[in-house]
A = this chain, B = another copy of it.
Amino acid sequence: MLGRLNHVAIAVPDLAAASAVYRDTLGATLTEPQALPEHGVTVVFINTGNTKIELLEPLGQGSPIAAFLEKNPSGGMHHICYEVDDILAARDRLKAAGARVLGDGNPKIGAHGKPVLFLHPKDFLGTLVELEQV
């Protein structure tokens, strides 16, 4: 079931400063910041050739990464996203195994325009896991 690692998301308090770290210090190539108000984040992508890093800054009220940044004010790895072929089949398999799917259990359209689900970190080694159908 588990496919490719689609991205690792790093939540940051200041996207411009974070972009400078990856661009100037680490020598990475970044996309322009993209505001995603429906997801409560502004995002910059770093293509590492084989996968992506997403830098996420909170946008607006009630951002889904606000609580994480309160606990981790310098930022940190927020979630990891794996690709699956069939997100409904994956969800049903996970639920049958006793894993908790966040929200109402129905896929939403994620930051890449594809169906996504998030899984409870307590069921996955303390790691927030996103599944994306590709």
Write the residues of chain A forming the contact surface with B, with a CB cutoff of 8 angstroms. 1-5, 8, 10, 12, 18, 21-22, 24-28, 46, 48-51, 53, 55, 72, 74-77, 80, 82, 93-94, 97, 99, 121-127
Find chain B residues with CB under 8 A from A55 CB: 125
Q: How far is the CA of A32 from the CA of B86 in the complex (A)?
A: 28
Closest CB in chain B relative to A87 CB, distance in Å? 13
Find chain B residues with CB under 8 A from A12 CB: 125
Q: B50, A5: Cβ atoms under 8 Å?
A: yes
Q: How far is the CA of A127 from the CA of B77 in the complex (A)?
A: 6
Q: A124, B8: Cβ atoms under 8 Å?
A: no
Q: A127, B5: Cβ atoms under 8 Å?
A: no
Closest CB in chain B relative to A50 CB, distance in Å? 4
Find chain B residues with CB under 8 A from A50 CB: 4-5, 50-51
Closest CB in chain B relative to A121 CB, distance in Å? 8
Find chain B residues with CB under 8 A from A99 CB: 25
